[in-house]
Amino acid sequence: MTERISRIVSEIPETKVFGDIGCDHGYAAYEMLKRGKCEYAVISDVSAKCLKKAEDLLSSYVKAKKAVAIVSDGFDFLPHLDTALIAGMGGEEIISILKNAKELPENLILQPMKNVEKVRVFVVENGYRVEKDYVFYCGNKYYNLLTLKKGEDRLSEEEIEFGRTNLKEKSADFKKMIGEEIKKLLFFSENSPEKVAQELKSKAERLKKYVED
Ligand SMILES: C[S@@+](CC[C@H](N)C(=O)[O-])C[C@H]1O[C@@H](n2cnc3c(N)ncnc32)[C@H](O)[C@@H]1O
């Protein structure tokens, strides 16, 4: 199991029926069962070939009827889930899966690889409250993680751009990411035409307050 998956699993609440949508290797569901964080796991992937990896990893749980493997596009053929994880996909793909679901779980854990702002807007407009929304650094990359529960919420423009927990806690990883973004903007501004350079510099200036203590 990777450090990224371990971080994600540590944020998933204890639950009855856990579903991993687009599970691929199945590490998250395996770890949920191993840690006793769920009673039953549904491993699911649109690709039968990918799902086979998870089925092999979880074979003892499948035999013990503690897990089931289902080939499915998003939530299409899945039973009722109390908690679902969708990790390692693009934000637009995640939104499309959520849009097409006939029933959504009480708890949703999302780890979009891009377009996190769009995901933030979509989930809040579609009946979820943001419990945590933060970035973590792992294996040379930054990952956004959102933990959501059904309920009402509103996000400010700043929360949509940066993530609620990042703004509240200003973690070392968040500051590192913003610091790198500032450096990049200033670097590109040096070789850009005047108007673009000004825009890049003013964005860098705007970001500075997020790295201050
Ligand atoms: C990059 S892998 C991520 C695997 C794992 N969730 C992780 O975070 O490491 C993306 C997986 O999502 C699956 N996938 C893509 N679109 C899907 C969909 N609409 N429904 C179910 N699975 C999907 C792919 O087949 C692939 O196995």
pTM of the predicted model, to two decimals? 0.96
List residues bridging with 109 in a β-sheet.
85, 147
Q: Are residues 10 and 72 in the same domain?
A: yes
Q: Are residues 93 and 145 in the same domain?
A: yes
Other beta carbons within 10 angstroms of residue 55's beta carbon come to 19
The type of residue at 110 is L
Q: Are residues 129 and 95 in the same domain?
A: yes
Q: How many domains does the chain have?
A: 2
Pocket-forming residues, ligand 1, beta carbon under 6 Å: 21-24, 45-47, 50, 73-74, 87-89, 93, 97
| Residue whose CA lies nearest to ligand 1 atom number 24 | 22
Q: Which domain holds residue 204?
A: 174-210
Q: Are residues 28 and 90 in the same domain?
A: yes
pLDDT digits (tens, 9 = 90+) for 41-54: 999 999 999 999 99
User: Which tokens in the block code for residue 94?
Assistant: 């995640």
Q: Are residues 184 and 108 in the same domain?
A: no
In our burial notation (b when 16+ CB lie closer than 10 A, e otherwise), range 40-50 reads bbbbbbeeeeb
Q: Are residues 19 and 59 in the same domain?
A: yes
Q: How confident is the model at residue 212 (pLDDT cuts 50, 70, 90)?
A: confident
- Residue 155 pLDDT: 98
Is residue 135 within 8 A of residue 161, CB to CB? The reply is no
Phi-psi region of 139 (alpha: psi -120 to 50; beta: other; left: phi over 0): left
| Residue whose CA lies nearest to ligand 1 atom number 12 | 22
31-41: average pLDDT: 98
Q: Are residues 71 and 54 in the same domain?
A: yes
Q: Are residues 178 and 151 in the same domain?
A: no
pLDDT digits (tens, 9 = 90+) for 154-174: 999 999 999 999 999 999 999
